Chain A
């Protein structure tokens, strides 16, 4: 590749990060990015810069994450395509987000992330993904007219710094209290049938909540 071509591609990558590319250039830049391992580092850098400016940095940044993602992608048969303009049910909308930067990864369709280091996080064993306690997210209300319906919302996930086990367990307990309440009360008969009750029965935390309550000696109603 010539230097001129490289400069042009770098500029396009930067515009891509900022969402400023037109359709034709978008397609071309995505293809070039996927084909060129060196340029994916450029992609990471631009996102890091962008996130720094927007103060979106996580507590810990794993710069090897993207390389591991790409390694997994090579083994995956999934075809990546930019999101279509019209939502088409049944078509996978992996889109650009899967060819990811360090700090920006689409949540849907990226479940292979958990296979990376072979260690199953505690929260996965409990079947709940535990959010980062207390991290701050942008608080601006979203005007629905700005929501693009043909693009998956990109949610930031981070390599989490170790959360104290007790806090982790307390968060899980709290979340499962809400889940139980929702499935008991808000279930509808129309299409769900007994699904909400099946969820209650299957939720492993149903037993964990009980054991936690016993061990912490909380006050309960005795009948």
Chain B
């Protein structure tokens, strides 16, 4: 039998997963997820997108005070992103601006993986363990996440064999080409991160603060008058919130559609007459955007998906026949 002749690490399971030395892809990904959240580390990251190359300092801390992360660019006008658990703050010191946003809820991927989401993701992605590689001087396992159709992007991950940290990741287009890459050139795992290293470099005093916040708009029923009947296979709506994207913006309904790996944001904003409107495809690096006008609303779909997927999602949206509230 051919199966008996194959070395253990090439055995393919019924589900199409490749196994390595008794480990499953799921095991490797779960360990990676834990490491990203639980370890204290710092390093230098190179980020590549189109013809842009940027170097950043990355610091991550997990302590009894929660999880903290800091990214600082090392080229060009200084930018800094600070994450404190679910609150993400972006500093632009040259413009004296700071933007604050809150993730809707903690994306606890471990629980998602355990809750059979991994099995359902396999309907749309093929997970394979590739040959080992060496990144930033560390031996790493390579995992390829290959989409089964051209509606989503793929990923290639390099995971440290010793501590399971994500050392390198590529976002791959439908042809397998890397359209976005992030790679550590050096990385250090430590017991503790000094406070000096992870606190913001800037004092917010004197900065204009732009806060994207959820609204308690009384017309929350408006969110119920939209339907997503024809989302592409695998995508489902996971979150909905209503908010303002800035002090001068209208209230915007924001949905997140996901297939388990890719996330797509859908913004629906009622037009007030003097708003700028746009329709059609747009692109920023790996992100595709699609604008559409439906009745008196601007619909914008944004996500790290191919252009056709952003368009399909936008076109799957319709207004319910029975409208709640007034227009």
Interface residues of A (CB under 8 A from B): 87, 89-93, 107-109, 127-137, 139-144, 147, 149-150, 152-153, 155, 167, 170-171, 174-182, 184-195, 197-203, 205-207, 210-211, 213-214, 218-223
The number of chain B residues with a CB under 8 A from chain A is 109
A198 with B287, Cβ < 8 A, contacts A89-B154, A192-B169 known: no
A181 & B265 in contact (Cβ 8 Å cutoff): yes
The docked-state distance in angstroms from the alpha carbon of A93 to that of B300 is 28
| B292 adjacent to chain A (CB < 8 Å) | yes
Shortest Cβ gap from B74 to chain A (Å): 10
Q: Which of B221-252 contact A (CB under 8 A)?
A: 229-230, 232-233, 245-249
| B198 adjacent to chain A (CB < 8 Å) | no
A-B residue pairs in contact (CB < 8 Å), sample of 17: A91-B175, A108-B173, A128-B289, A142-B315, A155-B281, A171-B276, A179-B289, A184-B88, A184-B99, A185-B88, A187-B263, A188-B263, A192-B169, A194-B182, A195-B47, A197-B81, A222-B209
B169 & A195 in contact (Cβ 8 Å cutoff): yes
Residue of B with least CB distance to A137: B279
The docked-state distance in angstroms from the alpha carbon of A201 to that of B89 is 11
Contact of A179 (CB < 8 Å), options: B33, B261, B302, B316: B302
B265 & A201 in contact (Cβ 8 Å cutoff): no
| B166 adjacent to chain A (CB < 8 Å) | yes
Interface residues of B (CB under 8 A from A): 29, 33, 36-37, 45, 47, 49-50, 52, 54, 56, 58, 69, 71, 73, 77, 79-81, 83, 88, 90, 92, 94-97, 99, 101-104, 107, 109, 112-113, 145-151, 154-155, 157, 166, 169, 171, 173-176, 180, 182, 204-205, 207-212, 229-230, 232-233, 245-249, 254, 256, 258, 261, 263-265, 267, 276-287, 289, 291-294, 300, 302-304, 306-308, 311-312, 315-316, 318
The docked-state distance in angstroms from the alpha carbon of A184 to that of B263 is 12
Contact of B97 (CB < 8 Å), options: A131, A186, A210: A210
The docked-state distance in angstroms from the alpha carbon of A131 to that of B47 is 27
Contact of A155 (CB < 8 Å), options: B109, B169, B307: B307
